Amino acid sequence: MKSSRPHTDALGPRLPRVIITGFMGTGKTKTAQALAEILGLECIDSDRLIEQMEGMTVANIFARKGEPHFRRLEEEVCLKLAGRSGVVIATGGGTLVHRKNFDVLSAAGHLVLLEASADAVLKRVGGDGARPLLRGSEGSAPNRAALKERILSILEERRPAYHRISHRVDTSTISPDETAYRIAASMAIASKKVGTAARIEIGRGLVSALGRRLQEMHLDSSVFVLIPENLRERFLAQIAESLNSRSVAWQEVVIRDGDAGKNLDQAGEVLDRLASLGAARDSTIVVVGGGVAGDLGGFVASIYMRGVPLVHVPTTLLAQVDSSIGGKVGVNHPKAKNLIGSFHPPRLVLSDPCVLRTLPAAEISNGMAEVVKTAILGDADLFDFIEGRLTESHPDTLRDVEFLERCVLDSASVKSAITERDPFEKDERRVLNLGHTLGHALEAIGGYRGLTHGQAVSVGLVGAMRIAEARGLVKSTLVERTRNALANCGLPVDPPPFDDAAFLESLHLDKKKRSGRLHFVLPTGLGSVTVVNDVTEEEARTSLRGERS
Ligand code: NAD
Ligand code: ZN
């Protein structure tokens, strides 16, 4: 099966270049650093670059070599920086006042002007004797009143130049972090949309666009943010800023993370909390977190007042490529995982690959198992891309935001196309179980304490490939390619020692759950699969052992 390529409104494949400028004391450097962190880009400070070139501070360059020399260096640096992509650049306060620099940098990237009142500037830089432009004519530090005069007069001089920049943020009363969140939100760099039923957006900085999106979609009348306790510190400031800057009325509901807490008890607690906080039919539930939070919060959203609008802000790779898409929500029962649940498609999914930077490596690998699965069943190009990028000479690729962004975009677009054609898992959606029939059996015999889900799926994918190979559906080279790709994702490709009888029993339990035959999804090539129901016990067993049946 081949899915259609996603609709895109991106700036193109080129990595973004953002240039932060503005008067001294507006927070350029700190804002650029925070924005680079949010967007997964490199941060460069043009003044620091000049200082490195000259081996002395800007103040000393001014004092010893004069302003014209400094401005020449600045021009040189602007030309250099215009050739770099994937960066956030903080310029000096006067850099873009010079037309040449403005022309070079405005053609190269997105310009943002930071503004602040003279009083705010004075407060921030008043005591800083190192600012050459604020020094009196005789080089001494002027008093406060004179300083304010000086600030106002330089501001006035620069006003026409600054006003050539249309994207402006007033930082007088906000921190550099908040400024960065606002810039990220208003840019929503390279955000791409997939899906038609649910709106799924993928792009850097999208977490900061939450408030704006909720407003645009009229989901902002009363918002309840469900977030696991352990993720609050990482995400709440960014979420709060995004909602507050749009005056969205919101309240927080803290949940416990972990599959052990994905149960009816906690769902009941969250329902109680929503009721006591006054959640109503037109309230929106925004779930921030991985698949566990998404399943639990989504389930609560599906039953509270017979269903309220749901928005996912997935923060794990697995949640971005898999669990936030397709509308399945639910909780575990002591007797079985995900036994209780419903279908409640989210209205909006905001997948920001930058949030994955703090995700432990094992969780990235888990998510990659689903990405490779999705590539094999529906997107040969994605498989080629992963294979090409994950080589031994590039060991850091799994941490690369650009790599992850492409994986999320392509996987989400394949899964959403399939689930939209088969929303209630009647037919086609079964193909998403590729690697899972064997995987579930392996997970179960380890008592869910052995292989993780992603690891079990990885071994299961190799097994499904081998069954397909033995049946003449795929060539042996594809089995090898699959093993290599999964191993390069940090995943096991062979099962740990297991007992045949326990494995077969577990396989049949899975069959019973589905009340019927054991469906097996088998690859028929890269990007295509078939569903069969005549796989024998012997085929299943030998596929994992790597024996020929
Ligand atoms: P998870 O939600 O347990 O998250 C894994 C760990 O990562 C947790 O400790 C979490 O706190 C932490 N974390 C989350 N985001 C982080 C971040 N950005 N930085 C640092 N740490 C972060 O696990 P998961 O793999 O995301 O989801 C697994 C769950 O998803 C299972 O319960 C499974 O049943 C469910 N699932 C549902 C569907 C579906 O269609 N609904 C599909 C697949 C899986
Ligand atoms: Zn899975």
Average of per-residue pLDDT across 522-548: 89
Rounded CA separation 537/500 (Å): 10
Last residue of a domain, one of 336, 351, 366: 351
Q: Which among 293, 338, 301 has a CA at the least distance from the CA of 319?
A: 293
Q: What is the pLDDT of residue 549?
A: 47
235 Cα nearest atom in ligand 1? 18
In terms of domains, do 28 and 175 share one?
yes
98 is catalytic: no
Q: What is the mean pLDDT of the chain?
A: 90
Pocket test for ligand 1, best of 206, 292, 317, 420 (most atoms within 8 A of CB): 292
436 is catalytic: yes
Contact predicate 183/111, CB 8 Å: no
In terms of domains, do 243 and 160 share one?
no
Average of per-residue pLDDT across 427-433: 93
Q: Which ligand is nearest to the CA of 257?
A: 1
**Strand positions, DSSP E, 160-249:** 168-170, 192-194, 199-202, 223-228
In terms of domains, do 158 and 216 share one?
no
In terms of domains, do 214 and 335 share one?
yes
Average of per-residue pLDDT across 423-436: 92
% of the chain at pLDDT higher than 90: 74
In a domain, 161, yes or no: yes
Contacts of 117 (CB under 8 A, 6+ apart): 172
**Strand positions, DSSP E, 222-283:** 223-228, 250-255
Last residue of a domain, one of 351, 373, 392: 351
Q: What is the pLDDT of residue 147?
A: 86
Last residue of a domain, one of 351, 372, 396: 351
Q: What is the pLDDT of residue 518?
A: 77
Q: What is the pLDDT of residue 136?
A: 57
In a domain, 361, yes or no: no
CB atoms within 10 A of CB 116: 24
The CATH number assigned to the domain holding 331 equals 3.40.50.1970
The DSSP string of 523-537 is EEETTEEEEES---H
Q: What is the pLDDT of residue 325?
A: 97
370 is catalytic: yes
Segment 28-83, tens digit of pLDDT: 999 999 999 888 889 999 999 999 999 999 999 999 999 999 999 999 999 999 98
* 546 vs 286 pLDDT, higher one: 286
Q: What single-letter DSSP state applies at residue 50?
A: H
Q: What is the pLDDT of residue 15?
A: 63
In a domain, 196, yes or no: no
In terms of domains, do 110 and 159 share one?
yes
Rg, the chain, Cα only: 27
| SS3 sequence of 471-502 | CCCCCHHHHHHHHHHHHHCCCCCCCCCCCHHH
Q: What is the pLDDT of residue 12?
A: 37
In a domain, 224, yes or no: yes
Provide residues with CB under 6 Å of ligand 1.
228, 230-231, 234, 257, 259, 262, 289-293, 295, 315-316, 318-319, 322-323, 326, 328, 338, 355-356, 358-359, 363, 366
Segment 259-308, tens digit of pLDDT: 999 999 999 999 999 999 999 999 999 999 999 999 999 999 999 999 99
Closest C-alpha residue for ligand 1 atom 30 = 291
Find the 441 Cα to ligand 1 centroid distance in Å: 20
Segment 368-392, tens digit of pLDDT: 999 999 999 999 999 999 999 998 7
Choice among 192, 312, 440, 466 that is catalytic: 440
Q: What is the pLDDT of residue 223?
A: 98
Positive or negative, the CA dihedral 248, 251, 256, 261 is: negative
In terms of domains, do 176 and 232 share one?
no
Positive or negative, the CA dihedral 422, 299, 240, 91 is: negative
Find the 248 Cα to ligand 2 centroid distance in Å: 35
pLDDT for residue 7 is more than 50? no
pLDDT for residue 11 is more than 60? no
Helix axes 476-488, 453-470, angle to 10 degrees: 170
In a domain, 199, yes or no: no
Q: Which among 96, 163, 155, 160 has a CA at the least distance from the CA of 120?
A: 155
SS3 call for 285: strand
168 is catalytic: no
Instruction: Domain count for the chain, please give it.
Output: 3
In terms of domains, do 459 and 325 share one?
no
Task: With cut-offs at 50, 70 and 90, classify the pLDDT of residue 395.
Answer: confident
Q: What is the pLDDT of residue 545?
A: 82
In terms of domains, do 163 and 232 share one?
no
pLDDT for residue 139 is more than 70? no
pLDDT for residue 441 is more than 90? yes
In terms of domains, do 173 and 56 share one?
yes
Identity of the residue numbered 252: E
Report how far Cα 321 is from the mean position of its chain's Cα atoms.
Answer: 10
In terms of domains, do 85 and 162 share one?
yes
In a domain, 154, yes or no: yes
Question: Domain range spanning residue 434?
Answer: 419-545
Find the 375 Cα to ligand 2 centroid distance in Å: 14
The CATH number assigned to the domain holding 538 equals 1.20.1090.10
262 Cα nearest atom in ligand 1? 32
312 is catalytic: no
Rounded CA separation 76/240 (Å): 40
Average of per-residue pLDDT across 124-137: 67
Q: What is the pLDDT of residue 446?
A: 78
In a domain, 503, yes or no: yes
In a domain, 11, yes or no: no
The CATH number assigned to the domain holding 109 equals 3.40.50.300
CB atoms within 10 A of CB 111: 21
Rounded CA separation 232/407 (Å): 26
115 is catalytic: no
In terms of domains, do 314 and 438 share one?
no
In terms of domains, do 173 and 31 share one?
yes
Identity of the residue numbered 3: S
75 is catalytic: no
Segment 150-203, tens digit of pLDDT: 889 999 999 999 999 989 999 999 999 999 988 988 776 556 788 777 799 998
Segment 203-249, tens digit of pLDDT: 888 999 999 999 999 999 999 999 999 999 999 999 999 999 899 99
